[in-house]
Structure 1
Amino acid sequence: MTSLALRFRPAVDADLAFLRALYASTRSAELAQVAWEPAAIDAFLTQQFNAQHHYYQAQFPDAEYLLIEADAQSVGRVYLHWGATHLQIIDLVLLPSHCGLGIGTRVLGQLLERADAQGLSVGLHVENYNPAQRLYARLGFAVVGENGVYLKLRRLPGALPQAIAPAAALS
């Protein structure tokens, strides 16, 4: 577990370059498999980031769009939609250099503590191949559905950790 000082702050237009680079970091392994010129990869990533960014803004106009800072350096983002009975974690991404340091666990712990205090369930989507599923299971999330490569997870207020069922078990 890391001892970095963490804080959230609202994302602003001046953060778009960081957010675009963060998005690109999530696609680097995938794009390493294609034989595209760097300019084509850059154009593709820009188009995909813009599409995702605009989609989130349109679908969740009242969401919180937050940067995660560790020791005053931007290291990730978390997008949250707080409802009357449910917190939807729209997106949570850390720079690869900051994965595995306990930052994601601390971020989720803070969010779950706040949601539990308000009696809210918490939901998120995760790719069915993402190793973060182990973390989500430890924190009490369970699979409640699937959509293509994404598993839909939900955690009831104050839920005790439980195993996440494999996607194949869902019917």
Structure 2
Amino acid sequence: MTDKNCWTNRVKLRRFTEQDLTFMEQLYAAGRVTELAMTPFSDEQKSLFIKQQFTAQLTHYTTHYNSEKFEIIEVDGQMAGRLFIDIWDNEIRIVDIALAPHIQNQGLGGYLLNKVIEQGRTLKKPVTIHVEQNNPAKRLYERLGFKEKSRTNEVYILMERTCC
């Protein structure tokens, strides 16, 4: 299912609640599987590491960004990911986007990012996102018109999609 219009009636965004934290932690863990496979950690150590890192990330996000737009992505009524954006005076920042493995590579990420880009056009603001240099999602961002704006520590790239 790659047709962007197929998502219109299937996708709902809603603000995350405390009841979503277990799902959000599982989603975070799913994104770290490959990285943690390269460590000598036991399963228990991996679990503790994930819990600590997830808690630190969520605390950072909710402390430094407007959490009104920290949303759970639902597809056909089932939790499928998270999309956190913050609207600043001069840009719309995509703080985080993560999709559950079972829904990846079906066009949902592009659909959601295009919705944010449309919002940027409406508000006449560029859309920005940080991505790790080797993250495969970088190719999607480039296909959607995001360009490198700056780098931090040769690891993180700030990408920008101009609106107008």
TM over 0.5: yes
1:95 paired residue number: 100
2:39 paired residue number: 34
Matching residue's letter, 1:84? D
Matching residue's letter, 2:157? L
Contact 1:63 1:82 in 2 (8 A): no
1:162 paired residue number: none
Matches within 5 A, 1:1-20: 1=2, 3-4=6-7, 5-20=10-25
Whole-angstrom distance in 2 between the partners of 1:62 and 1:23: 18
| Dislocated runs of 4+, deviation >4 Å | none
Secondary structure at the aligned position of 1:126 is classed as: strand
Indicate the RMSD between aligned Cα atoms, in angstroms. Answer: 1.3
Whole-angstrom distance in 2 between the partners of 1:25 and 1:34: 15
Q: Which has the higher contact order (CA 8 A, sep 6+)?
A: 2
Whole-angstrom distance in 2 between the partners of 1:7 and 1:147: 33
Secondary structure at the aligned position of 1:20 is classed as: helix
The answer to which structure has the higher helix fraction is 2
User: Percent of pairs identical after alignment?
Assistant: 31
Are residue 155 (structure 1) and residue 158 (structure 2) matched?
no
Equivalent residue pairs, number? 158
Matches within 5 A, 1:107-118: 107-118=112-123
Are residue 146 (structure 1) and residue 154 (structure 2) matched?
no
Whole-angstrom distance in 2 between the partners of 1:42 and 1:79: 24
Deviation of residue 85 (structure 1)?
2.9
1:45 paired residue number: 50
Contact 2:94 2:128 in 1 (8 A): yes
Structure 2 unaligned spans of 5+ = none
Deviation of residue 34 (structure 1)?
1.8
2:90 paired residue number: 85
Whole-angstrom distance in 2 between the partners of 1:131 and 1:37: 27
1:105-129 per-residue CA deviation (whole Å, 9 max, x = no partner) reads 0000111111111111111001101
Structure 1 unaligned spans of 5+ = 159-171
Deviation of residue 63 (structure 1)?
4.8
